[in-house]
C-alpha cells in the first residue's frame, strides 16, 4: 500500500480507513480537507488541483515515511485529489493508526502540514464573480530574497514564506497548459533527446529542453568555443573560449535544472560515433552546420525508427523539417545528397545571431510537441522562414510508396568514411611549383576581395559540380576556398569522377593568410 | 505566354536580388523556366542542386507550367 498517492476520483474514507485497521492499534486519527466556499474574502464556486505527480508522489512518500519513523506510528497514509472538485468535496485525506492516540494525532497533523508545505500541488479557484486564480502553490512561493515567485496577489501568511532557494524546478507555467498538465510533464520527464551540435541552433534547443524538464538531454559536439560563436550561441561566455562546447553546455544545463540527466559527448558527430550513441535516445535534433551531418542524422534516425528535428539557416532565412517515424525524410526532399560548400554556412555567408536563435527555438518547440504527442505541420514537409520579411511558407513533401514500410529506400548502404583529402596550407606554394593546378572554388566577389597568392584559375564550386569532367582526368589539382569546406567538396566530386591526384588546402584562405603572416 | 509568380530563397534570393517577382514566360516546363531565370539573374546553382515547389507542393522539373502558378525555388541550406 503506497503511503501517498493521487486520485482523480472521489475519495472514500471508509475504504481508506479499512486499509489501516490493525489489531495492535488503539488509536486512529484522521484529517479531511474539504473544498470550502470562500478564500481570502472571495466566494469560491469550485476548484481544480494539479500536481507534478512524479515529484509530488516521491515527496509525499518521504513525508509519510518520516511521520512513521518520527512518531513511531504503525500505519499512515495520505491521498490527495487532482482534477475538478465541487464545494464540500473531499480534497485530501490523511489517516494514521497507532498504539496510542497521542502519536496518531501528532503524526496526522505533521503529515497534512508537511504535504501542504512541501508537495508541489497547485489549486486553481474559480470565484463566483467570474474570476479565477492559482493559489496554495506554497512550494513554488518560496522566494529568494524579496522576489515574488508567482504573479497573483494575495497576502502571504508569514509561516509560509521561507527565504530559501528552490530545490527543484517549477514547471507550473507549462503544466497549466491543458496540452501539458501533470501527464504531459511526466512524458517530458521520460523523454531522452540527443542534440547534435551545440552552436547557434543547438544552444536554444538545449536551454529550452532542460528548462522544460526533459528527463535526459545528450549533447554531441566536438568543437571548442570560439569568440566568433558568442554573438549567436547564448549559453556561453567570453571566458569560456577555447573550452569544449559539449562540456560547457552540460555545465550550464546542470545549473539550470539539476533534475535533468545531462550527458556530454565531446566528439564529432560522424558515421563512427552517431549510430551507436543515438540508440540511447528517443529523438534526434540536428543543429549542425553541414550537409554531411544533416544527412547522417536523417539516415541514422530513419534506420533506428526514431523521429528527428532538422533545421538550418542561411543569412536571414531558415528551413525546418520534422522527420516523423514513417513520414517524409530529408531524402524525400533532397533525393541527391547535397555537397558541402555549395551554399554558404554561417562562417562563409554570415548570419545575425537571432536567426539560428529563432530556428533553434522552433526546433525545441517541435521536440516538445513530439514528446507531448501534439500534431505539427512541420512533419511531412518543410517550413521555409524568411526572417527579413517574416514570411513563412510550408511545402508539403510525401514519403514515396516504396518507403512505406521500413527505412528510407534512398539510404546509402553504409555511410562512407572520408578518405584523406587535405594538404596543409604551408604546402601550397611548393605544390603549385611542382605542377599542381591551383583552382579557387569561391565566388568571383570573394576571389576579388581576397586573392589566392599563387597563380590559379577561378572555378566556383557550383559550376565545377555541374560538370566535373571539365577538368581533364589526367590532371593534378589543388583546390582552395575560404575555409577548406568547399575545396573538400570539390575533391570528393573529382575523386568520384575518377581523378585521384586532387587535394584540398586545409583551412583555406584563412590558413594561407596565417602562414603568410607568421612566415 | 504565361505569367507566374516566382519566389526565391537563400542564395538564390541573394543572387537574383529579389525575393519575389512576376514573370511572363514562354517556358513550357519548370525546368525551362529555371534555365531562363538562371541566365537572366546569373544564378550559380544548377537545377539538380535545388528543389522546386508549385502551390505549396514539391513538383517535378518536367511538370508543365500553368498560368498563375506560384513557383518557389528552394536551395539547400546548411548553416547552424
Instruction: List chain A pLDDT tens, one digit each, 519 residues.
Output: 789 999 999 999 999 999 999 999 999 999 999 999 888 778 888 888 888 777 788 889 999 998 998 888 999 999 999 999 999 999 999 999 999 998 899 999 999 988 887 787 888 888 888 887 776 544 444 433 333 444 444 444 433 444 456 766 889 999 999 999 999 999 999 999 999 999 999 999 999 999 999 999 999 999 999 999 999 999 999 999 999 999 999 999 999 999 999 999 998 898 888 998 999 999 999 999 888 899 999 999 988 889 999 999 999 999 999 999 888 999 888 877 677 666 666 667 789 999 999 999 999 999 999 999 999 999 999 999 999 999 999 999 888 877 766 677 777 765 444 557 888 888 888 888 888 999 999 988 889 989 999 999 999 988 888 888 899 888 899 999 988 888 988 888 888 888 888 999 988 888 888 876 655
Q: Are residues A350 and A482 located together in one domain of the fold?
A: no
Distance CA A187, CA A200 (A): 27
Closest in B58, B78, B79 to A395, CB measured: B58
Q: Are residues A500 and A447 located together in one domain of the fold?
A: yes
Q: Domain holding A148: CATH number? A: 3.90.1170.40
Would residue A417 count as lying in a domain? no
Q: Domain holding A222: CATH number? A: 3.40.50.720
Q: Which residues of A330-367 are buried (b: 16+ CB within 10 A; e: fewer)?
A: bbbbbeebbbbbbbbbbebbebbebbbbbbbbbbbbbb
Give the end of a domain, one of A145, A175, A205: A175
Q: Is there a contact between A214 and A304 (Cβ–Cβ < 8 Å)?
A: no
Q: For residue A456, give the C-alpha cell.
A: 590559379
| Largest pairwise CA distance in chain A | 102
Q: Are residues A17 and A118 located together in one domain of the fold?
A: yes
What Cα–Cα distance (Å) separates residue B19 from each residue in A334, A365, B70? 22, 28, 13
Which among A96, A78, A79, A87 is positioned nearest to A25, based on CA atoms?
A: A96
Distance CA B74, CA A319 (A): 10
What Cα–Cα distance (Å) separates residue B58 from each residue in B31, B47, B61? 13, 14, 10
Q: Are residues A323 and A200 located together in one domain of the fold?
A: yes
Q: Is there a contact between A79 and A7 (Cβ–Cβ < 8 Å)?
A: yes
Would residue A238 count as lying in a domain? yes
* CA A313 to chain centroid: 18
Give the end of a domain, one of A134, A151, A175: A175
A376 touching chain B per CB within 8 A: no
DSSP A215: S
- How confident is the prediction for chain B on average, in pLDDT? 91
Looking at the predicted structure, is the pLDDT value of residue B41 above 80? Answer: yes
Mark yes or no for CB contact B46/A201 under 8 Å. no
Choose from B20, B58, B77 for mutation: most chain A CBs within 10 A.
B77
State the DSSP H helix or E strand holding residue A192, giving kind and residue range, or none if neither. strand A192-196
Indicate the number of domains in chain A.
3
Distance CA A204, CA A208 (A): 6
State the DSSP H helix or E strand holding residue A126, giving kind and residue range, or none if neither. strand A121-127
Distance CA A184, CA A175 (A): 7
CATH fold, domain B2-74, is Ubiquitin-like (UB roll) (3.10.20)
Q: Looking at CA atoms only, how far is residue A189 from chain B in angstroms?
A: 27
What pLDDT score was predicted for residue B77? Answer: 79
Q: For residue B75, give the C-alpha cell.
A: 536551395
Q: Looking at CA atoms only, how far is residue B2 from chain A in angstroms?
A: 23
Distance CA B78, CA A346 (A): 8
Q: Are residues A431 and A399 located together in one domain of the fold?
A: no
Q: Are residues A397 and A433 located together in one domain of the fold?
A: no
What pLDDT score was predicted for residue A167? Answer: 65
Distance CA A376, CA A366 (A): 7
Neighbours of A449 (CB within 10 A): 11
Q: Which of residues 60-79 of B touch A (CB under 8 A)?
A: 72, 74-79
Q: Which residue of B has its CA nearest to A197?
A: B80
Mapped onto helix, strand or coil, the DSSP state of residue A245 is helix
What pLDDT score was predicted for residue A133? Answer: 75
Give the end of a domain, one of A110, A143, A175: A175
Closest in B45, B74, B80 to A384, CB measured: B74
Q: Are residues A460 and A499 located together in one domain of the fold?
A: yes
Closest in B11, B45, B49 to A344, CB measured: B11
Q: Are residues A119 and A156 located together in one domain of the fold?
A: yes
DSSP A83: E
B23 phi and psi, to 5 degrees? -125, 130
Q: Which residue of B has its CA nearest to A396?
A: B57
What pLDDT score was predicted for residue A341? Answer: 66
**C-alpha triplet A353, A359, A365: angle, nearest 5°:** 130
Would residue A415 count as lying in a domain? no
Distance CA A353, CA A231 (A): 5
Q: Are residues A371 and A343 located together in one domain of the fold?
A: yes
Q: Are residues A169 and A79 located together in one domain of the fold?
A: yes
What pLDDT score was predicted for residue A151? Answer: 41
Tell me which residue range forms the domain holding A386.
Answer: 191-403
B21 touching chain A per CB within 8 A: no
Distance CA A389, CA A316 (A): 9
What's the complex ipTM? Answer: 0.70
Q: Looking at CA atoms only, how far is residue B48 from chain A in angstroms?
A: 8
Q: Are residues A368 and A509 located together in one domain of the fold?
A: no
Q: Which of residues 207-236 of A touch B (CB under 8 A)?
A: none
Mapped onto helix, strand or coil, the DSSP state of residue B34 is helix
Q: Are residues A466 and A394 located together in one domain of the fold?
A: no
Distance CA A296, CA B52 (A): 23
Would residue A499 count as lying in a domain? yes
Neighbours of A33 (CB within 10 A): 16
Mark yes or no for CB contact B49/A338 under 8 Å. yes
What pLDDT score was predicted for residue A140? Answer: 45
What pLDDT score was predicted for residue A152? Answer: 42
What pLDDT score was predicted for residue A150? Answer: 43
Q: Looking at CA atoms only, how far is residue A310 from chain B in angstroms?
A: 10
Amino acid at each position: 500500500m503506497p503511503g501517498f498517492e493521487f486520485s482523480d476520483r472521489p475519495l472514500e474514507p471508509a475504504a481508506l480507513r479499512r486499509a489501516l485497521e490493525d489489531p495492535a492499534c488503539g488509536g486512529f486519527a484522521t484529517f479531511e480537507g474539504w473544498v470550502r466556499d470562500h478564500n481570502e474574502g472571495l466566494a469560491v464556486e469550485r476548484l481544480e488541483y494539479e500536481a507534478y505527480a512524479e515529484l509530488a508522489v516521491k515527496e509525499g512518500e518521504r513525508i509519510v515515511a518520516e511521520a512513521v519513523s518520527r512518531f513511531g506510528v504503525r500505519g499512515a497514509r495520505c491521498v490527495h485529489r487532482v482534477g475538478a472538485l465541487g464545494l464540500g468535496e473531499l480534497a485530501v485525506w490523511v489517516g494514521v493508526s497507532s498504539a496510542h492516540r497521542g502519536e496518531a494525532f501528532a503524526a496526522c497533523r505533521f503529515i497534512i502540514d508537511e504535504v501542504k508545505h512541501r508537495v508541489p500541488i497547485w489549486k486553481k479557484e474559480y470565484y463566483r464573480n467570474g474570476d479565477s486564480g492559482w493559489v496554495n502553490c506554497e512550494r513554488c512561493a518560496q522566494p529568494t530574497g524579496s522576489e515574488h515567485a508567482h504573479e497573483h496577489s494575495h497576502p502571504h501568511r508569514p509561516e509560509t514564506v521561507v527565504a530559501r532557494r528552490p530545490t527543484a524546478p517549477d514547471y507550473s507555467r507549462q503544466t497549466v497548459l491543458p496540452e501539458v498538465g501533470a501527464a504531459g510533464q511526466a512524458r517530458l520527464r521520460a523523454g531522452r533527446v540527443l542534440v547534435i551540435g551545440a552552436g547557434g541552433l543547438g544552444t536554444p534547443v538545449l536551454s529550452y529542453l532542460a528548462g522544460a524538464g526533459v528527463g535526459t538531454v545528450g549533447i554531441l559536439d566536438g568543437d571548442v568555443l570560439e569568440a566568433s560563436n558568442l554573438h549567436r550561441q547564448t549559453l556561453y561566455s567570453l571566458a569560456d573560449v577555447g573550452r569544449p562546447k559539449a562540456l560547457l553546455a552540460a555545465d550550464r544545463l546542470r545549473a539550470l535544472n539539476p533534475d535533468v540527466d545531462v550527458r556530454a559527448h565531446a566528439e564529432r558527430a560522424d558515421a563512427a560515433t552517431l549510430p551507436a550513441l543515438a540508440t540511447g535516445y528517443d529523438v534526434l535534433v540536428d543543429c549542425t552546420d553541414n550537409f554531411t551531418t544533416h544527412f547522417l542524422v536523417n539516415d541514422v534516425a530513419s534506420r533506428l525508427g526514431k523521429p528527428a528535428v532538422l533545421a538550418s539557416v542561411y543569412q536571414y532565412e531558415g528551413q525546418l523539417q520534422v522527420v516523423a517515424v514513417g513520414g517524409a525524410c530529408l531524402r524525400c526532399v533532397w533525393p541527391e545528397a547535397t555537397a558541402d560548400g555549395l551554399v554558404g554556412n554561417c562562417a562563409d555567408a554570415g548570419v545575425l545571431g537571432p536567426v539560428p536563435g529563432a530556428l533553434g527555438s522552433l526546433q525545441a518547440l517541435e521536440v516538445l510537441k513530439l514528446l507531448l504527442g501534439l500534431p505539427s505541420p512541420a512533419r511531412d514537409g518543410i517550413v521555409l522562414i524568411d526572417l527579413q520579411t517574416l514570411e513563412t511558407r510550408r511545402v508539403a513533401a510525401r514519403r514515396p510508396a516504396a518507403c512505406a514500410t521500413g527505412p528510407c529506400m534512398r539510404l546509402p548502404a553504409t555511410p562512407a568514411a572520408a578518405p584523406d583529402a587535405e594538404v596543409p596550407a604551408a604546402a601550397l606554394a611548393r605544390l603549385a611549383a611542382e605542377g599542381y593546378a591551383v583552382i579557387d572554388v569561391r565566388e568571383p566577389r570573394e576571389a576579388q576581395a581576397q586573392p589566392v597568392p599563387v597563380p590559379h584559375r577561378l572555378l566556383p564550386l557550383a559550376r565545377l559540380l555541374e560538370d566535373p569532367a571539365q577538368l581533364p582526368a589526367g590532371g593534378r589539382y589543388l583546390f582552395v576556398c575560404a575555409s577548406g569546406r568547399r575545396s573538400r567538396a570539390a575533391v570528393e566530386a573529382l575523386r568520384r569522377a575518377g581523378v585521384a591526384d586532387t587535394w584540398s588546402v586545409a583551412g583555406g584562405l584563412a590558413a594561407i593568410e596565417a602562414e603568410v603572416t607568421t612566415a | 505566354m504565361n505569367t507566374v509568380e516566382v519566389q526565391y530563397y537563400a542564395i538564390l534570393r541573394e543572387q537574383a536580388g529579389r525575393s519575389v517577382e512576376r514573370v511572363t514566360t514562354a517556358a513550357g516546363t519548370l525546368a525551362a523556366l529555371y534555365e531562363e531565370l538562371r541566365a537572366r539573374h546569373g544564378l550559380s546553382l544548377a537545377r539538380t542542386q535545388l528543389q522546386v515547389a508549385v502551390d505549396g507542393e514539391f513538383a517535378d522539373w518536367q511538370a508543365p507550367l500553368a498560368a498563375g502558378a506560384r513557383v518557389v525555388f528552394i536551395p539547400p541550406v546548411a548553416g547552424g
